[in-house]
Amino acid sequence: MESLDEFSVIKDYFFGLSHGAATVIGPGDDCAVLRLPIGEELATSSDTLIEGSHFPFGSDGDDIAYRAIATSASDLAAMGAQPLASVLSVSLPVIDTAWLEDFTQGLAQAVQCFSLPLVGGDLTAGPLSITVTVYGSLPANHGLLRSGARPGETVLVSGTLGDAAAGLAFLNNEWEPDQADREFLARRFFRPESRLNLASSLLKIASAAIDISDGLLADVGHIASASSLSIRIDARKIPLSPALSKLENSQQVLEWALSGGDDYELCFTMPANKTVPSGCTVIGFTTSGNGVSCDGVEIIGSRKGYRHF
């Protein structure tokens, strides 16, 4: 990509989304500068989405942009952090202005929805790939870790599970949902809720948390191993959307809900006497020991979730 070209594309499409309480210096200089609330620590996380690997070839630009911000916002939520800002590095095969307009429209929606002003980034030529880094703030020493669960606590999830995996399978032409459910399921893949609105209440009540990106069983396994305990899941308690609960193939539905990734709901543990936050469901409990079991069956190996390699 020729450098003058590159900078005008950056200016035309990626500046202008940087306004926010934390933004001291937005894009255009060598670095962005962020203001951190007094007494708070910086939480940061980065994720790369590659065409054909993390979203289907030919996906709409606005959906890809939205999903890239949303999936990173989800990491902040899982930490109990409040959003400060985002940085976006894009690799594009060609400069296609119609695509860029579409892309930045989804970007603007997500930046606003998750309060993650875009303060900088990078643009290079190459296969379509999007890297988002997000920054959030946390009360000093109070981040919600994977390692904080104790035996005898309840295990909960937000929202419903399996929709994004079912949506992705639909986008990949692996099955045909009812006409009325197609948009809902595709949206659940491309437009994750990313429960930042739960972050502050989870900081008060939860002992450990993770966002579900690789599938419930795999991700809950990270809490179990980081907290050195065992997690028991009751599959009948897994919350399902109407679009999935009405399907006849309950084995497939369970597979999506337990092992399909991409939901970006939160899974967390808390003492059993705490009030269940609105929109969340108890799905199991912690106990001494190790590993994850579902309906009494120990989970091992391949059923655990999405693996990149």
CB under 5 A: which stretch of 28-36, 117-125, 138-146, 240-248 binds Mg ion? 117-125
Q: Rule CB under 6 A: choose which of 20, 22, 23, 27 binds ligand ADP.
A: 27
Q: Is 117 in the site for ligand ADP (CB under 6 A)?
A: no
Task: List the single partner that 121 binds among ligand ADP, Mg ion, none, CB under 5 to 8 Å by kind.
Answer: ligand ADP
Choose between 100 and 209: whose C-beta lies nearer to ligand ADP: 100
Give the Å distances, CA to CA, from 16 to 38, 87, 120, 217, 227: 27, 13, 11, 40, 43
Question: What is the contact mask toward Mg ion in residues 120 to 139, using x (rule: CB under 5 A)?
Answer: --x-----------------
183 binds Mg ion per the rule CB under 5 A: no
Which stretch, 23-31, 204-212, 218-226, 265-273, contacts ligand ADP (CB under 6 A)? Answer: 23-31
Q: Does 12 bind Mg ion (CB under 5 A)?
A: no
97-116 residues near ligand ADP, rule: CB under 6 A: none
Residue 28: C-alpha distances to residues 8, 71, 120, 149, 295 (Å): 11, 25, 8, 43, 54
Q: What are phi and psi of 176, to 5 degrees?
A: -120, 105
Residues 59-88 that bind ligand ADP (CB under 6 A): 88
Q: Which of 22, 73, 77, 90 binds ligand ADP (CB under 6 A)?
A: 90
Question: Angle at which helices 250-259 and 216-226 pack, to 10 degrees?
Answer: 40
Contacting residues for 76 by C-beta, under 8 A, at least 6 apart: 43, 45, 82, 83, 134, 136, 196, 199
Minimal distance, residue 83 CB to Mg ion, in Å: 23
Q: Which is nearer to ligand ADP, 98 or 140 (CB)?
A: 98
Sole binder of ligand ADP in the list 110, 118, 220, 240 (CB under 6 A): 118
28 binds ligand ADP (CB under 6 A): yes
Cβ contacts of 160 within 8 Å, gap of 6 or more: 239, 240, 241, 244, 263, 265
Exposure string of 249-265, with b = 16+ CB inside 10 Å and e = fewer, is eeebbbbbbbbbbbbbb
With CB under 6 A as the rule, give the number of residues binding ligand ADP: 14
CA–CA dist 7, 96 (Å, integer) = 15
DSSP 299: P
Q: Which residues bind Mg ion (CB under 5 A)?
A: 122
